[in-house]
Chain A
Amino acid sequence: MKWQIKENQTIQEKVFVADLSPGPALYVLPREGFNKKYAIFSTRFGSIDNCFMVKQNGEKKKVSVPDGVAHFLEHKLFDNEDGNIFDRFAEYGASPNAFTTFTHTTYLFSCTDFFEENLGLLLEFVQSPYFTEESVAKEQGIIQQEIMMYQDNPDWRVFFNLLGALYHEHPVRKDIAGDVESISRITRDVLYTCYNTFYHPANMAIFVTGDLSPDQVLKQVTDDLERRSINGSQDIERCYPGENASVNQRKVTQELSVSQPMLYMGFKDTYSYLEGRELLVRDLVSELLLEMIFSKSEPLYTRLYEEGLIDERFSAGFVAECSYGYTIMGGKTKDPDLLHQRILEGIHQIKKEGLKEESFARHRRKMQGEFLKSFNSLEFIANNFLANRFRGVDLFEIVDALERISFQDIESRLHEHLNEELHAVSIINPLD
């Protein structure tokens, strides 16, 4: 097995990549001098993957599963026949965890000692499902409390309400954990169906970083794979419902126990599927555009701040996944309707007066610096490498892609994307 070594001169890092198919892809990024070692094992199975094709007796069948199943499965994978995997990691001083996003599920640990033992545990538990009706019932109580916690969280509510307003059908509109009703329909069999479909090693990847020898990691992972008989992979067919380009609802409002209102605004992108460089460029161009309009160094932010309509946590960003993309902005405000109006006016004015090249160069420089800075964090490196891999992007590619963006790219994106027809707002008002 030979490594493919990718090096980036700007960041001054190199990553070792091995294709172990039909096993998972393996990445090792050595960082000398760090005490921490961080490893993640991810599968491209997220909350939006709630409808897919399954082969049964040679025939393909469409399966729909309850909302929140990817997250539920993530919780349940920590159980094995002898109990809970947390105890095993604890023996080696590691800190294990997992998270589920819209598009993938990641299992992880960080440790300073016993790296080999901990990596062995990670490989073992993610590849050993053990679901019983009893343990599923027990988990429903825990996840119910997790859902209740988020129902009281205004940041979470204003965000999901916005997605519900932007999308008619796409499952991104649903809460990652599902709801109390949908999780009550999750059974042991549903979990196994999902596991067998999405946890095939070919759908997965491992990323390891810290003061480590790539060759030793490779040997451990290949030895582990040899012990397991992996059948040739089958392509996963996900069924996403057709999404109308328009927004579902212009405005959605909820009342919560908060000190002041919140406003989130979203602009829906219209592509139905993108990946790789094309998706990355769209992501970066959009981010740069938003920086040039809404960042703290620009006049619009200052006006809104001085009017008391926003606070310093006001932010704007773009989300670019293969099957959906949108701009999101907002925060707390004393007057959501006025802020909404001011933002639309601000965008209109910029469209009329044009963007400034000086601002473009400055924001690109800032993005380059911020990208570099984030390489202080092993968690950032690993999590973002795999999240990008799942959308066909190499994290190192970002440096070059950013360099090649032109001012004209930003200008045309402004007129195409920040289209009033394709925007929605989500408002949280305080309870009386």
Chain B
Amino acid sequence: MKGMDGLDSLQSKKLTGNIQAHLFPTKKFKTVLITVFIQQALEKDSAAKTALLPAVLERGTSNYPTFMDLKRELEMLYGASLGSDVVKKGERQVVSFSLEVVHDRFTPGEQLFKEGLSILKSVLTDPLLDNGSFKQEYVEQEKDQLRKEIEGLINDKVSYALERCVQEMCKQERYGIYKYGDAETLKVVSPRELYSYYQELFRRSPVDVFVVGDFEPEEAFRLLEQSLVFSRSSTSSSLPFIEQNHFRKEPLQHVEKLPVNQAKLTLGYRVNTVYQDEDYPAMMFYNGILGGFPHSKLFQNVREKASLAYYAFSRLDKLKGIQLIGSGIEVDNYQKALDIIQEQVDSLKQGKITNDELENTRRGLINQLKVIADSPFALVNYFLDALVGQRRGNVEDLIGEIERVQAKDVVEAAQKVSLDTIYFLRPVNGEGGQNNS
């Protein structure tokens, strides 16, 4: 696989059972981090089931039948942390299990990596069963928890506004599905159905495991081989790649009213460039100059000059090819803020980029890429993005490309950007925004 993705700096090996193992040996950290990624297509019917699965697996295994047993075992390993997560990466839903243990050099006489792996093995491969299925009680309790999690999106209005913009914008695409699925689909999942889904998911989905830390590579491969033992088909199911090419003639305008103090203006754009594209580095500049940094146009004009907002930023989703602009404003300043934001976008399209903006963004982007190597979790996330986004080359190659980007490349990239959705979350009282409800 060398050279095909951003995983060049890794030692990779295909384990028995068609599992890809990737090692990143480094002496920098106090810990060893092991992360297992299971990728699958983001689908309306299965999203909630996929999200429910890790929660149920973490409830108990045949050796550690309760959550309490499992937690106690981890605590004895100097607080080893075992966690699961579900993320949306492009059109895929990725389940991850992470185990982080203190390195053995700090705890003489212990074998935390080895013992931690055996707990991870139990959770992944040896769930607590009741009549050949998951335990009913655990499944029902976790369904209840997940339903609350799905409904709880609304509690943090900053992230709610961003997620809702994406949902409206990508209503016709898989990407519009929430990473935890929806409460209705969740409601009807039975323990038996979930159990066969688990077997099927683990059998056919691409599985990648990453290990970051200080270890002997051969020994690590051997331990992983012993730990990741479940029934696997020899070929993995194929996964969807990024869907683009959704155009609107007129931007969609969506207004939502809630009893809140602050209004949130969120704009969704199609940038028509994704991670693996040649002009992706230029698009990073476009986003950086517009709203990625405190020196960017949005921060400077919406916040510093007009005092309209505390936060005003733009964010690129490189695995989908969209960009979001987010800001929190006074409801009556809707038009003023929208005008200033659109002015900034237009100025970039017209090539109004100062040398300082270009060079400061270049240094800022390089800085962001270089620090990835300083965090085990950031490293693993970088590897996953490279895998899903099929990005060639490693971090250094991307830095090299960033060094070569010129203003004209950024202006060219800017022409590809089109406004798709204006989502406005507003308080029940006051002016601002067109009411379409």
With an 8 A cutoff between CB atoms, is A113 at the interface? yes
Q: A259-B148, A297-B68, A373-B100 are in contact. Are A363 and B75 (CB under 8 A)?
A: yes
Q: Kindly identify which residue among B78, B299, B359 contacts A369, using a CB–CB cutoff of 8 Å.
A: B78
B84 to chain A, nearest CB (A): 11
| B427 to chain A: closest residue by CB | A152
Say yes or no: B363 contacts A146, CB within 8 Å. no
Say yes or no: A113 contacts B363, CB within 8 Å. yes
Say yes or no: B80 contacts A142, CB within 8 Å. no
0/1 string, B325-336, CB within 8 A of A gives 1: 000111000000
Q: Kindly identify which residue among A35, A152, A155, A369 contacts B371, using a CB–CB cutoff of 8 Å.
A: A35
With an 8 A cutoff between CB atoms, is B158 at the interface? yes
Besides A12-B105, A91-B363, 19 other CB < 8 A contacts? A12-B106, A35-B374, A84-B300, A92-B363, A95-B368, A139-B307, A140-B307, A145-B308, A152-B157, A155-B156, A296-B67, A305-B141, A306-B137, A366-B79, A368-B78, A369-B79, A369-B107, A376-B375, A377-B375
With an 8 A cutoff between CB atoms, is B29 at the interface? yes
Say yes or no: A365 contacts B367, CB within 8 Å. no
With an 8 A cutoff between CB atoms, is A36 at the interface? yes
A258 to chain B, nearest CB (A): 5
Say yes or no: A259 contacts B294, CB within 8 Å. no
Contacts of B80 in A (CB 8 A): 369
Q: Kindly identify which residue among B158, B304, B328 contacts A84, using a CB–CB cutoff of 8 Å.
A: B304
With an 8 A cutoff between CB atoms, is B261 at the interface? yes
Q: A35-B371, A152-B260 are in contact. Are A311 and B29 (CB under 8 A)?
A: no
With an 8 A cutoff between CB atoms, is B200 at the interface? no
Q: Which 5 A-B pairs have the closest CB atoms?
A: A93-B363, A369-B78, A141-B307, A369-B79, A366-B79
A315 to B103, CA, bound (A): 26
B328 to chain A, nearest CB (A): 5
| B376 to chain A: closest residue by CB | A376
- B interface residue numbers (CB < 8 A to A): 26-31, 66-68, 71-72, 75-81, 100, 102, 105-107, 137, 141, 144-145, 148-149, 151-158, 258-262, 293-295, 299-300, 303-304, 307-311, 328-330, 356, 359-360, 362-364, 366-368, 370-371, 373-376
Say yes or no: A36 contacts B68, CB within 8 Å. no
Q: A90-B360, A148-B262, A258-B155 are in contact. Are A373 and B79 (CB under 8 A)?
A: yes
Say yes or no: B148 contacts A369, CB within 8 Å. no
A311 to B68, CA, bound (A): 15
B208 to chain A, nearest CB (A): 22
Contacts of A298 in B (CB 8 A): 68
With an 8 A cutoff between CB atoms, is A99 at the interface? no
Say yes or no: B363 contacts A306, CB within 8 Å. no
- 24 chain-A/chain-B pairs, Cβ below 8 angstroms: A11-B30, A12-B105, A31-B28, A35-B370, A36-B370, A86-B294, A91-B356, A91-B359, A111-B367, A113-B363, A145-B262, A145-B309, A257-B157, A257-B259, A259-B148, A260-B151, A296-B68, A365-B76, A365-B79, A366-B79, A369-B78, A372-B102, A373-B79, A376-B29
Contacts of A373 in B (CB 8 A): 30-31, 79, 81, 100, 102
Say yes or no: A149 contacts B67, CB within 8 Å. no
With an 8 A cutoff between CB atoms, is A362 at the interface? yes
Q: Kindly identify which residue among A148, A154, A366 contacts B155, using a CB–CB cutoff of 8 Å.
A: A154
| B260 to chain A: closest residue by CB | A152
A211 to B308, CA, bound (A): 40
B75 to chain A, nearest CB (A): 4
Say yes or no: A90 contacts B293, CB within 8 Å. yes
Say yes or no: B154 contacts A258, CB within 8 Å. yes
Main secondary structure of the interface of B (DSSP, over half): helix
Say yes or no: A87 contacts B258, CB within 8 Å. no
B51 to chain A, nearest CB (A): 14
A372 to B259, CA, bound (A): 44
With an 8 A cutoff between CB atoms, is A276 at the interface? no
Say yes or no: A141 contacts B376, CB within 8 Å. no
Say yes or no: B72 contacts A431, CB within 8 Å. no
Contacts of B141 in A (CB 8 A): 305-306, 308
A330 to chain B, nearest CB (A): 14
A86 to B295, CA, bound (A): 6
Say yes or no: A151 contacts B262, CB within 8 Å. yes
A10 to B78, CA, bound (A): 13
A33 to B374, CA, bound (A): 9
Say yes or no: B72 contacts A362, CB within 8 Å. yes
Say yes or no: A142 contacts B262, CB within 8 Å. no
Contacts of B75 in A (CB 8 A): 297, 362-363, 365-366
A301 to B80, CA, bound (A): 19
Say yes or no: B31 contacts A90, CB within 8 Å. no
Contacts of A139 in B (CB 8 A): 307
| B77 to chain A: closest residue by CB | A369
| A79 to chain B: closest residue by CB | B304
A273 to B351, CA, bound (A): 60
| A94 to chain B: closest residue by CB | B367
Q: A35-B371, A84-B304, A298-B68 are in contact. Are A372 and B376 (CB under 8 A)?
A: no
A236 to chain B, nearest CB (A): 30
Say yes or no: B28 contacts A87, CB within 8 Å. no
A268 to B3, CA, bound (A): 59
A368 to B80, CA, bound (A): 11
Contacts of B370 in A (CB 8 A): 35-36, 112
Contacts of B307 in A (CB 8 A): 138-142
With an 8 A cutoff between CB atoms, is A182 at the interface? no
Which residues 180-212 of A sit at the B interface, judged by CB distance below 8 A? Answer: none
0/1 string, A78-112, CB within 8 A of B gives 1: 00000010110011111110000000000000111
A94 to B368, CA, bound (A): 9
0/1 string, A148-163, CB within 8 A of B gives 1: 1101111100000000
A91 to B363, CA, bound (A): 7
| A311 to chain B: closest residue by CB | B145
A87 to B363, CA, bound (A): 12
Say yes or no: B144 contacts A308, CB within 8 Å. yes
With an 8 A cutoff between CB atoms, is A402 at the interface? no
Q: Kindly identify which residue among B137, B260, B304 contacts A257, using a CB–CB cutoff of 8 Å.
A: B260
Say yes or no: A362 contacts B310, CB within 8 Å. no
A73 to chain B, nearest CB (A): 16
Say yes or no: B308 contacts A149, CB within 8 Å. no
Which residues 245-261 of A sit at the B interface, judged by CB distance below 8 A? Answer: 257-260
Q: Kindly identify which residue among B31, B71, B148, B258 contacts A311, using a CB–CB cutoff of 8 Å.
A: B148
With an 8 A cutoff between CB atoms, is A223 at the interface? no
B212 to chain A, nearest CB (A): 10
A94 to B391, CA, bound (A): 26
With an 8 A cutoff between CB atoms, is A271 at the interface? no
With an 8 A cutoff between CB atoms, is A343 at the interface? no
Contacts of A367 in B (CB 8 A): 79
Say yes or no: A10 contacts B157, CB within 8 Å. no
Say yes or no: B157 contacts A146, CB within 8 Å. no
A86 to B145, CA, bound (A): 43
Q: A36-B371, A92-B363, A94-B367 are in contact. Are A365 and B78 (CB under 8 A)?
A: yes
With an 8 A cutoff between CB atoms, is A312 at the interface? yes
A211 to chain B, nearest CB (A): 10
Q: A142-B303, A153-B157 are in contact. Are A112 and B311 (CB under 8 A)?
A: no
With an 8 A cutoff between CB atoms, is A143 at the interface? yes
| B327 to chain A: closest residue by CB | A145
A362 to B68, CA, bound (A): 13
Say yes or no: A149 contacts B311, CB within 8 Å. yes
| A9 to chain B: closest residue by CB | B106
Q: A153-B157, A375-B30 are in contact. Are A91 and B360 (CB under 8 A)?
A: yes
Say yes or no: A296 contacts B71, CB within 8 Å. yes
A252 to chain B, nearest CB (A): 19
Say yes or no: B367 contacts A259, CB within 8 Å. no
A363 to B79, CA, bound (A): 8
| B428 to chain A: closest residue by CB | A257
